[in-house]
C-alpha cells in the first residue's frame, strides 16, 4: 500500500454518521486492545484556541524532557501532523502500517448493523491512540475534534481536562445557543477529574459549573484561580495561587495567545501536580517561548509583512481584529479572505470591512465546501474585490504593496493550508 492509497481509504469514510455516539469508536478500540487505557492524557475542548493551547502545553512538557504525543485537527502541512510525537508527524510508513492493521477491523464492524459506518475521525482517533500506546509516550495531549460530549476522543479518562473558549460555531451540529454549545463542550468533564477553564462568558460558565458540580470535578477558572497580565511587546505575567512567573516571552503572535499560553501553563501545573512531576520556571518559560503552531498569526514574509491566520469563525475573527488594531494600527493592509459554507461568511466579511486603511479581496479555493463567489457579487459595489484565483490575487498583492504594508491571508484553515504550501514553495 502506498501513502496515497492509505490516505484515500481514510478519506473515503464518512465525515459524520447519522447516529452520533461513542459506540463505534469504542468497539474499534476494543478490537485494538484498548490502547487509550495505557495513556496518561490531557483533554482539550473549546471553540477557539484549542490548537494553540495544545501546542504550548506540548512544548512545556517537551522542555521538561517528556516524550509528548499530540492529537490535533485539522492538519496544515501534512496529514501526519494530526498525530505527532514531540511535534514530529507520524511517518508515512507507520501510517500505512496502522491503516493496514485497522482496515480489516473496520470491515468486520461494518457487518454489524449497530456499528456500521465508522467515520474518518473515529478511525484516526483510534489509530492515534494505538500509535501513541505502541510508542510508549509519557503524555498525550488530545484535542477534541468537534464539540466534546459525543466527540470520538471522549472515550478517554484524562488526568485533567481543559475548555478554552465558547462561541457560536458548528451550530448545525452543536446547537444554536451559547448554552447548548457549552453543554456539548462540558461533556468532556469526567467524575472527579479537574477541569481548567479559559476566558468564557457567564452564560456558558454557568453550564460548565453545573456539569462540573454534578461530576464533583474541581474547576480552575480564569481569571480567578489563574490569570495573565499583558506586558510590553506581547510579553506577559502569569499568576496562579502562590505561583508568579513574570515577563514571559511567547512565540505565537497576537494578544489572544497570552490567554492560550496562560491556560496551557495552568493545565501543565495541574497535570504535573496530579502525576508528581516538578515543572521549573525555566521549563515553563522555554516551553512558551519555543512553541510553534502554523497558520495562527504566522509570519511568512517580510517587506511587505505577510501574515497567515486561520480565523475561521466569528469568534476567531473578533480576536484577529483586536490583534490588527493593537499591533498594526497605522499599516496599510491588504486582506485575502476565503471560508467554507458552513461558517457565517457574511458576518466575517462585514467584520473585515471595518478594518481601517484596508482593501479586502474575497476568493475561493479547492475544497468541496469552499464559498461560491457568485453568491457575493453584490459586494463589488461596496469595494470588495472578487478574485476567482487566490494564487493570482496573492502574487499581484505582493507586487503592489509597499515594503511597510501588510498582506493578511485569513479564513478557513483548509484555505490557510493551501496558501501556506504555496508561499513556502515560492520562497
Return the percentage of the chain with pLDDT > 90, whole number. 84
Residue where the block lists cell 475521525? 121
Strand order in the sheet with 243-248: 226-230, 236-240, 243-248
User: Nearest to residue 42, comparing CAs of 31, 32, 50?
Assistant: 50
* From-to residues of CATH 3.40.1190.10 in the chain: 3-290
Per residue in 82-95, pLDDT (tens digit) is 999 999 999 999 99
pLDDT at 177: 92
* From-to residues of CATH 3.90.190.20 in the chain: 298-426
Cα gap 90→81, rounded to integer Å = 7
User: Nearest to residue 196, comparing CAs of 130, 300, 270, 119?
Assistant: 270
**Which fold is adopted by the domain 3-290?**
3.40.1190
DSSP designation for 79: G
pLDDT at 170: 64
Per residue in 354-393, pLDDT (tens digit) is 999 999 999 999 998 999 999 999 999 999 999 999 999 9
pLDDT at 172: 67
Chain-centroid distance of CA 426 in Å reads 26
Cell of 382: 461596496
pTM, 2 dp: 0.89
pLDDT above 80 (res 35)? yes
Task: Provide the mean pLDDT of the chain.
Answer: 94
How many CB atoms neighbour CB 104 within 10 A? 10
Cα gap 127→140, rounded to integer Å = 13
pLDDT at 109: 97
Per residue in 211-264, pLDDT (tens digit) is 999 999 999 999 999 999 999 888 999 999 989 999 999 999 888 899 999 999
Cα gap 29→157, rounded to integer Å = 14
143 Cβ neighbours under 8 A, 6+ residues apart: 44, 50, 51, 54, 70, 71, 72, 73, 153
Give the architecture (CATH level 2) of 298-426: Alpha-Beta Complex (3.90)
Per residue in 105-117, pLDDT (tens digit) is 999 999 999 999 9
Classify 341 as helix, strand or coil.
coil
Per residue in 386-422, pLDDT (tens digit) is 999 999 999 999 999 999 999 999 999 999 999 999 9
Average pLDDT over residues 36-46: 98
pLDDT at 167: 87
pLDDT above 80 (res 198)? yes
pLDDT above 90 (res 12)? yes
Pairing, β 305-309 against β 385-387: unpaired
**What residues pair up with 230 in beta bridges, in sequence order?**
236
Per residue in 60-82, pLDDT (tens digit) is 999 999 999 999 998 888 999 99
Cα gap 389→172, rounded to integer Å = 29
pLDDT above 70 (res 122)? yes
Average pLDDT over residues 291-307: 89
Amino acid at each position: 500500500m502506498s501513502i496515497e492509497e492509505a490516505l484515500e481509504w481514510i478519506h473515503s469514510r464518512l465525515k459524520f454518521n447519522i447516529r452520533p455516539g461513542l459506540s463505534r469508536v469504542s468497539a474499534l478500540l476494543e478490537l485494538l486492545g484498548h490502547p487509550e487505557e495505557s495513556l496518561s492524557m490531557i483533554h482539550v475542548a473549546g471553540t477557539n484556541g484549542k490548537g494553540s493551547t495544545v501546542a504550548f502545553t506540548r512544548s512545556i512538557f517537551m522542555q521538561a524532557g517528556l516524550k509528548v504525543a499530540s492529537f490535533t485537527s485539522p492538519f496544515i502541512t501534512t496529514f501526519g501532523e494530526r498525530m505527532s510525537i514531540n511535534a514530529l508527524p507520524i511517518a508515512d510508513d507507520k501510517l500505512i502500517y496502522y491503516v493496514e492493521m485497522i482496515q480489516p477491523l473496520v470491515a468486520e464492524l461494518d457487518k454489524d448493523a449497530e456499528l456500521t459506518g465508522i467515520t474518518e475521525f473515529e478511525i484516526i482517533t483510534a489509530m492515534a491512540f494505538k500509535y501513541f500506546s505502541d510508542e510508549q509516550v509519557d503524555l498525550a495531549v488530545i484535542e477534541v475534534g468537534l464539540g466534546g460530549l459525543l466527540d470520538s476522543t471522549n472515550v478517554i479518562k484524562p488526568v485533567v481536562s481543559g475548555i478554552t473558549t465558547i462561541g457560536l460555531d458548528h451550530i448545525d451540529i452543536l446547537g444554536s445557543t451559547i448554552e447548548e454549545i457549552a453543554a456539548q463542550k462540558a461533556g468532556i468533564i469526567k467524575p472527579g477529574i479537574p477541569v481548567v477553564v479559559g476566558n468564557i462568558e457567564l452564560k456558558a460558565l454557568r453550564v460548565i459549573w453545573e456539569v462540573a458540580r454534578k461530576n464533583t470535578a474541581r474547576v480552575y477558572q480564569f481569571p480567578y484561580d489563574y490569570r495573565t497580565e499583558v506586558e510590553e511587546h506581547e510579553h506577559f505575567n502569569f499568576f496562579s495561587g502562590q505561583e508568579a512567573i513574570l515577563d514571559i516571552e511567547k512565540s505565537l503572535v497576537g494578544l489572544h495567545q497570552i490567554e492560550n499560553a496562560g491556560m496551557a501553563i495552568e493545565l501543565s501545573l495541574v497535570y504535573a501536580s496530579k502525576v508528581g512531576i516538578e515543572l521549573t520556571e525555566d521549563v515553563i518559560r522555554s516551553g512558551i517561548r519555543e512553541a510553534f503552531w502554523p497558520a495562527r498569526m504566522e509570519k511568512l514574509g517580510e517587506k511587505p509583512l505577510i501574515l497567515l491566520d486561520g480565523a475561521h469563525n466569528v469568534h476567531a475573527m473578533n480576536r484577529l481584529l483586536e490583534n490588527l488594531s493593537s499591533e498594526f494600527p497605522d499599516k496599510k493592509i491588504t486582506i485575502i479572505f476565503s471560508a467554507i459554507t458552513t461558517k457565517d461568511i457574511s458576518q466575517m466579511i462585514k467584520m473585515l470591512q471595518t478594518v481601517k486603511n484596508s482593501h479586502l479581496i474575497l476568493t475561493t479555493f479547492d475544497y468541496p465546501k469552499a464559498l461560491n463567489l457568485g453568491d457575493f457579487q453584490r459586494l463589488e459595489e461596496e469595494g470588495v474585490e472578487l478574485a476567482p484565483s487566490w494564487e493570482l490575487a496573492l502574487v499581484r498583492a505582493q507586487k503592489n504593496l509597499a515594503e511597510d504594508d501588510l498582506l493578511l491571508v485569513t479564513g478557513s484553515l483548509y484555505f490557510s493550508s493551501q496558501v501556506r504550501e504555496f508561499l513556502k514553495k515560492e520562497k
